A and B are shown apart, each in its own frame.
Chain A
């Protein structure tokens, strides 16, 4: 259980700064530090158990369908990383407390930092591949927020975007790789995956999987050629750089390679790819670290270089190489975090990070100078510092490995070269900042920072020195645990400073001598390199992004013609082809069931239905007539439903028909009354052919299906409607019970559509034409008396019918949807007969809450079943009796149906009444000529407040 808390505490910690930011920075910093400190202590408390060889695991099933478990492990590797993440994280909190300017939103910073810390701890402890990936993505997101913390700066935004793009793309590749890996291993549990290395190596998909996983790791750990985002991420505040780019985020890729080492390493492909990428990265980074003039730029590239070094070691993959890699992870994190923080202090106190403006700072900042020198010595690999030990181990391993076959001598040679560069840039960093006289004055007068701001650096430098002096005492225990976790068996080793005069020591000596010489002749080297045009990675990156965006737009433009006809044409053509293929495959169109009996009424009804359809299309240029024809189609469809025993559908169709007519007429008013002749005869023929053929195919398909006895799911509903849902009306029981979730989704969509239309029409005022299409002026009678009185009489009647249809819906044709439409139509009639103003005076409430309340009622009814321990939307029913009324049934489905009713009424009225309102205020009072009306339109619309 403590494992879960170690992972959860930093995540909970995200809330702490948000809650305490009001109380001042000191309180907030302290409060933020509490939870990670607790997590650190809990991690340490688990060490004895770990030393006893216990398997510390925690697992809860989360989403078994996705093979996702909430599973954590704590082994040596997790321990090493947890200590780094939480320990350095705490130091960073202290450091950031002083680093951030007074007016900066520190609460937000801490929250991002905690989110990042939580996701890193999650990566380090995940015992499930998918879970690991989730935390991996979370690091990408939270690092985006951290890098872009100074969001007012363009370089911060661009750097953050670049980091997110690169690591995010790598994350996608990693997901694909991990899915493959889990599939190959047959499990997404980390333990199972690590144990099935043989199966994975033998799988033919291994190279693909390895490529994808390494893409993820290389992008995250800034390996060549994906290293370019890291220097640009230096736009982040220095605490972020110190944390993300020394100890944690960039180590995530390294961690992944170490974690999955037992499962996916061990092939020649792995060794060659990983060690080559690593060595190239190491040299590339080291070279540019020497060339940069920005303090953080130097550190960024040196980080790239050291990450490359660790990658080489992981690529070599022998047990001692793994040990060296783990040791260097630890050492690099300590000295690089110290260096970043020193750089931040220098930046903070002098106002610049440019080497040109820095120099001679040893007088003004003697303590910082000492600390930085010590940390840089560790980075250069000076004996008696921790960096020396792991570098020696690296040299030893580079000599021992046969990875590159005949050219294996290349590896130690390149390693020495890397050592030379490392010595040179470390020397340059220290000398140029503290000892060399400054060429230009820094913007601020430098002085020592507050003591507590320096404290984290002091702690880390002390660690560097102590580990360097007493490696066996300080690091052996931790490294034993960590290496056992990676290699799988205990490793016998002895960390010592002195191994006698051997080849690695000579390599080190060589590195020092040549490195110092290189720095001495540094000016010449710089002049030489200045002949080459530099490449700005960011510019290239932005250009690629822009070109991708441009290509996508072109592709979209090619695919999307913005022509509805074309879309529909393609859709129909596809349907035609698919339907045609289906039809060709059956031998006989008429199935075994044969035709149903036919009578004269059916034939005539079908003829009229077809006539209506054809006439709608034929008269489409005369829109009103076309609408009337469409109404014939609607009527006959309803009659067909009635004839074939589907009364619910008939009722729905009839009420929908009325609403559709009103809606279309409201819209038609603003459209030209006649459509101009647009299509060429050729197009007409083409469209007729397409539509006609499709019609024939669909008709044949229907005929083929209906003359066959097909297994349908309807028998289930018919049988279970009464016992399961408590209603005889199967249609309604399906709507409110069996498929209640669908209905809930539908009314939600309806309500949202209503709200969207309401918002879109809000304040839209269209000017209406002063006469109809043929130039007749409108009748002066706004509210005809007959209509007015009929509408008044009809309303109570319609509401009664509506209540009747609603209540009986569960057992007989009807239900909330139809009842809602009837109510809506009756109310709309009132609007038509008496006008918006009159109706609004009497229906003095907005309709949008009605629709929303409807959805809420339906949802709450569904949620209610949880109270009784049933799944969402389980309905219950019972029978009750009252005097006078007799026995009746009450079902929760009725409540759900009430929600449907309210949603339908609300949404329909919202749409129709608001559409009706569009013209209201702007009807021309006097009849004038067309020109004047247009002018009036212009002025009145201009006056309308926006």
Chain B
């Protein structure tokens, strides 16, 4: 049987071509029904937020909103900055700066997670990289975890004073959003 393989004839060609066109057509029709669920242009419109940080005194923290996400802004104390700078990078769980303005390969030093000249301000997307809860540590009296930064109560992730993951199930450091200082104390996020 195998030795008498027939030459493909016109009908075989038509069947394969017809099915191929039907498959492509089906995929083309399916795509709008999948893509409609993606963020629409209204959600995509990259809203930028301007904030004045002057009222945020040393040791204080505020939470802003950007793209529907909470932004943690903390004016760190000298001790907190010192603590963040002296951490040996080898002990970090995630050694990537996680700074949207920097390449992913940059190391997670404190300098790479803040802006030169404004090291006291740590600005982060306040969403735990585990499963998206809002970590504690912004309000006075909140638990700040074992490393003095933030603590996510959902599944027990501890972040240090540079927002880097140190302990718990979260895989990545808290993300640093793209922002610039537009004045001495004014920032623009996005």
A-B complex is real:
no
Give me the interface of B with A, judged by CB distance under 8 Å: none
